[in-house]
Structure 1
């Protein structure tokens, strides 16, 4: 049965998140789809409907607690147990409320919590807010989401409550979502785990107010500072083992990708901290060093989870899949289509949308070109400003790597134009992966195949450049594909290149049903280069790896009370959880299962780059520029748009039918306006308020100098001394974690799920001429083998969004996320703008056509825009 793509009126908003399956123009995008899910299944716990009847609660008044810290880890104990002033029960009134919570399992014993309100306006002798009387909550709860009635004590003389102190006297942890009091109407947006007192002496949750540190009510300042010290792990030894209940956010190098203690060939270089391998920082896990390589960290077992701060954990630990080992290549297209038979064994895969409407259209040049603008990677196409295309590789190391595509190769397919005229009229475009692939190509092609073990197949790949012509109807036509290899005698002698052009006998839009040519194989190699670059650089690096330090620094330096923390927090959702899972079972080398069986991590098997993929992403990071990822800047840099990047709505697009650009600019504009309106509320005093915001400055300094320390001296970093810098930075972070991530991630199964359309592994020498005949079996023998195809499909087939996940502009606690009515109103206006964008995208998609497209009244067929796919969640990216 075909996989149904759910449509939504808005794009998803979450942040980074295995390669996924819907990009601009991918099957099923929505204008509000801004967010990491596809390959790795999201690990949220069960989220049933609210079940008030599932909980029976009793409340009683307790004597003030001293916040016991027995059994707590050093990091937790460091700021616990302060002596604070409390009120007496004689002067307190009862306050009714409701507590929304969640447990991952059905507890065998009752939930026992102690809750104490904390004054925001009256401080005690210790300069902290006076605590109210502690009330005990005893409740019987089930797994999933539960709402219980609560009754707290509060002395009106203490003014408004600013926080609630929660102690868990149960023998199991519980996740608190929201505490709402009726009179006075106060909301505490918790979203945090509370472990038993032996692990968490207490948790402090603030109200939904927002203010910068300098404007914090004096009674809350010390508690605000204490929370940040705890999250930074201050007071705890740097080498103290971190446990699953800890909340410490800290940094480490990418030194856990290899497994040298298991096998020498599984060692991988440390990424980050060196000029050779620059990289963003990841979350520190505190595992001991490897015995074989002390610079590397030991791997966690496949059955264990990798440490992340407990509030970042959104469900059960993702397990390494146990897939069957298959040998060899597909013998026919019928064998590939057989995977989608409802009775197929061992897994019946859903029909990828690229073949759901037309089983052969994927072979046409028209569809190949369409996917360049509206497939899983719509970000690599660039304007050609001159021929020959030149390389930036060091000639001393690699010799002449310039393109060998000449006007003689392409002029016959330019109609009545010359090459010079086509360049002058902005009609030539290129997708150029040559320089990214070539430095590693010799090593990739020398990787030993070990197909019998199902670990990795033999590879034969090329570095590719693909040239396109922009036709009068604003569609692209492929003109030439250049396949290059290192010189067989010495890499320093330059590249050996062959240029392939479309066979003369095929008319536009045609694909012979029973024969293939070398041109088809050239397109397969171009698609393979494109898929790998998208996977490791455009997706993993830009939305997962580079955003992780932003998330870490935000939690270490921005209080949950900080307005920018509240703005960005939804877009951080799942980022650390997904990234830790990626390092654990996706982007590393390999591990041993219980029982001794070997597990090779997915990407090294499923992509032609093999064990070099992460190294290659490090080389790409060396030229990373955060400011160029603001959407208008990114379009202008690639030459596909002209104009003032500050006026996105006025940009001139050189390719009019470019769904990613057309639809994306409308979403970017809505994001930018929302961030502008929001920041104007809290920084009304102007640039000085930004420069004087100590938490904000500490956050951005840590992002630059620690999280991205290898690039800290780059001149492009925003100074963060103006409202303009703040707005542009926050808008870019939101864009990367939502719409951008959706474009490069959520369409993977829709296009990559049918491996002949978008192979990720190639093998075998190319035939000489573009028109050389190739049998169906020979074509399939050159592309992704069965084992890799099976793994890739299993990785990307999960729905990108779970039911109930909030979309961009939505929040799980939409009515209570803030007490600032102007901010709440701005969010509603943002929602309305996204709804309007979604409607516009729908109408444009209805008019768009392509070989694999139909009018999009049915969710089964590929959509023409990446922004009409229901890409859920407002949190971090969760597909890797």
Structure 2
């Protein structure tokens, strides 16, 4: 397995020179001083103008032992509950079986039901190859051979596994590799004392010479022989892989595919559709707080070495606690070049990743290749419920295609989304034309991103990231040679240090449900006076209740081992509602944190 509020585009915040360096671009947005407020319409402003950063201690170095981490949650040295009160709530990933997060089965399960369940892909060609330009980066193809994987495949050959759809990979190599040299050169003079060094391993002499490739494989002992104080180089390899996965989830699948994708839709809806327009009434609840959250994110999360009037360098929180540091948003911008609006719907995404077969327009009949894939199974049911709601609603006001093409407000709305919100992609051939009811329904079903998809990849991250060894965000040392001995201290010294870990725990702990949250399917009684629309909403609410019942039933099924896994953590991220606190469920209507 290989691992590797200006109305400009939300992702086009920097231009990149031929050598990869950041360049100033007057066409892109600039940040206002940290003490000033970002302009937002009155009905979009929530809370204080600027959200203050959490006030945390500034401890140096790395955790010395797992007992030190456990003590933060009021647990004893074995990770078990005692009478002590911790500074943080116990992350669910260690709340029942505190050591089972280390098993290979749990490591793999979290790629299907963890904090980032949307990167796993079916392997269709083996060995894996790189799409990076060989003139710039040399040979970046995977050096994993059949001998490396077949010993763990119960007698199945690599060829047979590929043919039968039994081989899958999470591969972040091409996403990370172009940035590794610059990441390894951090921290620079302006960042010293603010970020910890991150270490990965491109070629030490020249990027054009290719990658330094070392293949690490599991030890022969297996999951049953895990000892609390005993570590192997395989544990370190999994930690490095997880760092890559955590970073791509944060900057691409969360920021790019959710916050930045929903923002142009929200702005165009406010500017081009009157409040009485039926599509405005449909979409508005799914944009609540989004512009506020995004403007706040640009103020305190993505600082990227922003020099303030006082002369101080302000570094955004996520530029400090994730491996890419000040290159995180640039990596998201690079990934935006491959962003395709019509690939965002869940059925199309599953098909593109080789996880499903069938017609994306007929999601009820999609065949999942991994039957016990909690995110996909629950997500498809939710997608279908959302799509049916959109179809029911749109059919009330658009009885035929002519009703769509004659709607001048809709035409202006969609033109702004394409040509202003996504100006760099406006001429792409994949944009759906707003010339029929079916395409209007597909476009409006994008509310999936700001609700259910956001719940799966962005909310309740504390469940998994709150215990930093399970989902580290920084790799601080290069991987040792294969076969090297690894101690508990070596492991902890190679991942997210104390200070950054406390920031991760605090930030992910804040991303939970709050009192008064409005969940998917909930709206005030006065949202419409049209009984037909109210009836359609009631049908949607009934469908959502059925989805929750099905999720609970699946979670009780002992034959579905990926529903809870070795850590005994039921997959509830896509249940409709929850209660306030750091729990693993609930789908807000919009991006509210």
TM over 0.5, yes or no? yes
Question: Separation in 1 of the partners of 2:180 and 2:85?
Answer: 35
- Alignment partner, residue 443 of structure 2: 729
- Alignment partner, residue 756 of structure 1: 469
- Alignment partner, residue 740 of structure 1: 453
Superposition map of 1:370-385 within 5 A: 370-385=109-124
Question: Separation in 2 of the partners of 1:715 and 1:422?
Answer: 35
Question: Separation in 2 of the partners of 1:348 and 1:618?
Answer: 36
The question of 1:390 aligning with 2:129 is answered yes
- Please say if residues 138 and 208 of structure 2, whose CA atoms lie closer than 8 Å, have aligned partners that are also in contact: yes
Question: Separation in 1 of the partners of 2:276 and 2:562?
Answer: 51
Greater share of helix residues, 1 or 2? 2
Shift of 1:416: 1.5
Structure 2, unmatched stretches of 5+, are 76-81, 579-584
Question: Separation in 1 of the partners of 2:497 and 2:563?
Answer: 24
- Alignment partner, residue 514 of structure 2: 802
* Cα-to-partner distance string for 1:390-411 (whole Å, 9 max, x where unaligned): 1111111111111111101111
The question of 1:332 aligning with 2:37 is answered no
* Cα-to-partner distance string for 1:646-688 (whole Å, 9 max, x where unaligned): 111111100011000111111111111111111111001x111
- Please say if residues 587 and 601 of structure 1, whose CA atoms lie closer than 8 Å, have aligned partners that are also in contact: yes
- Alignment partner, residue 642 of structure 1: 357
The question of 1:316 aligning with 2:48 is answered yes
Question: Separation in 2 of the partners of 1:845 and 1:589?
Answer: 42
Question: Separation in 2 of the partners of 1:744 and 1:459?
Answer: 24
Shift of 1:302: 3.1
- Alignment partner, residue 690 of structure 1: 404
* Cα-to-partner distance string for 1:74-114 (whole Å, 9 max, x where unaligned): xxxxxxxxxxxxxxxxxxxxxxxxxxxxxxxxxxxxxxxxx
- Please say if residues 327 and 451 of structure 1, whose CA atoms lie closer than 8 Å, have aligned partners that are also in contact: no
* Cα-to-partner distance string for 1:264-322 (whole Å, 9 max, x where unaligned): xxxxx943799999xxxxxxxxxxxxxx9977766434333222122101222312223
Residues 337 and 706 (structure 1), Cα distance of their counterparts in 2 relative to 1, 3 Å cut = same
Shift of 1:388: 1.2
Superposition map of 1:75-86 within 5 A: none
* Cα-to-partner distance string for 1:724-776 (whole Å, 9 max, x where unaligned): 10011111x1110111010001231110111111100011122222x532110
- Alignment partner, residue 79 of structure 2: none
Question: Separation in 2 of the partners of 1:695 and 1:275?
Answer: 41
- Alignment partner, residue 531 of structure 1: 246
SS in 1 for 2:323: coil
Shift of 1:522: 0.4
Question: Separation in 2 of the partners of 1:591 and 1:250?
Answer: 17
Residues 711 and 360 (structure 1), Cα distance of their counterparts in 2 relative to 1, 3 Å cut = same
Question: Separation in 2 of the partners of 1:616 and 1:657?
Answer: 32
- Please say if residues 354 and 862 of structure 1, whose CA atoms lie closer than 8 Å, have aligned partners that are also in contact: yes
* Cα-to-partner distance string for 1:576-611 (whole Å, 9 max, x where unaligned): 000000000011225689999865311111000011
Q: Given the alignment, which residue of 367, 372, 388 partners 1:652?
A: 367
The question of 1:417 aligning with 2:156 is answered yes
Greater share of strand residues, 1 or 2? 1
- Please say if residues 9 and 421 of structure 2, whose CA atoms lie closer than 8 Å, have aligned partners that are also in contact: no
- Alignment partner, residue 604 of structure 1: 319
Per the normalisation by structure 2, the TM-score is 0.90
Shift of 1:864: 2.2
Residues 874 and 566 (structure 1), Cα distance of their counterparts in 2 relative to 1, 3 Å cut = farther
Shift of 1:873: 6.7
* Cα-to-partner distance string for 1:477-517 (whole Å, 9 max, x where unaligned): xxxxxxxx33222111211211111011x224442222111
Question: Separation in 1 of the partners of 2:186 and 2:118?
Answer: 29
Superposition map of 1:757-772 within 5 A: 757-769=470-482, 771-772=483-484
* Cα-to-partner distance string for 1:426-460 (whole Å, 9 max, x where unaligned): 10000010000000011101112679964101110
The question of 1:271 aligning with 2:25 is answered no
- Please say if residues 10 and 261 of structure 2, whose CA atoms lie closer than 8 Å, have aligned partners that are also in contact: no
Residues 546 and 601 (structure 1), Cα distance of their counterparts in 2 relative to 1, 3 Å cut = same
* Cα-to-partner distance string for 1:615-644 (whole Å, 9 max, x where unaligned): 000110001011111110010000000011
Question: Separation in 2 of the partners of 1:276 and 1:720?
Answer: 39
Structure 1, unmatched stretches of 5+, are 1-248, 256-268, 278-291, 462-484
Residues 518 and 660 (structure 1), Cα distance of their counterparts in 2 relative to 1, 3 Å cut = same
The question of 1:866 aligning with 2:573 is answered yes
- Please say if residues 573 and 874 of structure 1, whose CA atoms lie closer than 8 Å, have aligned partners that are also in contact: no
Superposition map of 1:820-859 within 5 A: 820-847=530-557, 853=564
The question of 1:365 aligning with 2:101 is answered no
Give the number of equivalent residue pairs: 572
Superposition map of 1:203-214 within 5 A: none
Question: Separation in 1 of the partners of 2:36 and 2:90?
Answer: 34
- Please say if residues 525 and 762 of structure 1, whose CA atoms lie closer than 8 Å, have aligned partners that are also in contact: yes
- Please say if residues 574 and 586 of structure 2, whose CA atoms lie closer than 8 Å, have aligned partners that are also in contact: no
Question: Separation in 2 of the partners of 1:563 and 1:826?
Answer: 13
- Please say if residues 367 and 852 of structure 1, whose CA atoms lie closer than 8 Å, have aligned partners that are also in contact: no
- Alignment partner, residue 347 of structure 2: 632
- Alignment partner, residue 487 of structure 1: 203
Shift of 1:325: 1.4
Question: Separation in 1 of the partners of 2:190 and 2:57?
Answer: 13
- Please say if residues 383 and 640 of structure 1, whose CA atoms lie closer than 8 Å, have aligned partners that are also in contact: yes
The question of 1:500 aligning with 2:256 is answered no
Residues 450 and 793 (structure 1), Cα distance of their counterparts in 2 relative to 1, 3 Å cut = farther
- Please say if residues 352 and 753 of structure 1, whose CA atoms lie closer than 8 Å, have aligned partners that are also in contact: yes
SS in 2 for 1:816: helix
Residues 398 and 676 (structure 1), Cα distance of their counterparts in 2 relative to 1, 3 Å cut = same
Question: Separation in 1 of the partners of 2:322 and 2:144?
Answer: 27
CA RMSD, Structure 1 to Structure 2 (Å): 2.9
- Please say if residues 131 and 174 of structure 2, whose CA atoms lie closer than 8 Å, have aligned partners that are also in contact: yes
Higher Rg of the two aligned structures: 1
Per the normalisation by structure 1, the TM-score is 0.62
Question: Separation in 1 of the partners of 2:17 and 2:394?
Answer: 37
**Greater CA deviation, 296-305 or 522-531?**
296-305
* Cα-to-partner distance string for 1:106-149 (whole Å, 9 max, x where unaligned): xxxxxxxxxxxxxxxxxxxxxxxxxxxxxxxxxxxxxxxxxxxx
- Please say if residues 358 and 851 of structure 1, whose CA atoms lie closer than 8 Å, have aligned partners that are also in contact: no
- Alignment partner, residue 582 of structure 2: none
- Please say if residues 302 and 316 of structure 2, whose CA atoms lie closer than 8 Å, have aligned partners that are also in contact: yes
- Please say if residues 122 and 355 of structure 2, whose CA atoms lie closer than 8 Å, have aligned partners that are also in contact: yes
- Please say if residues 253 and 272 of structure 1, whose CA atoms lie closer than 8 Å, have aligned partners that are also in contact: no
- Please say if residues 273 and 710 of structure 1, whose CA atoms lie closer than 8 Å, have aligned partners that are also in contact: no
Residues 830 and 273 (structure 1), Cα distance of their counterparts in 2 relative to 1, 3 Å cut = farther
Question: Separation in 2 of the partners of 1:768 and 1:444?
Answer: 21
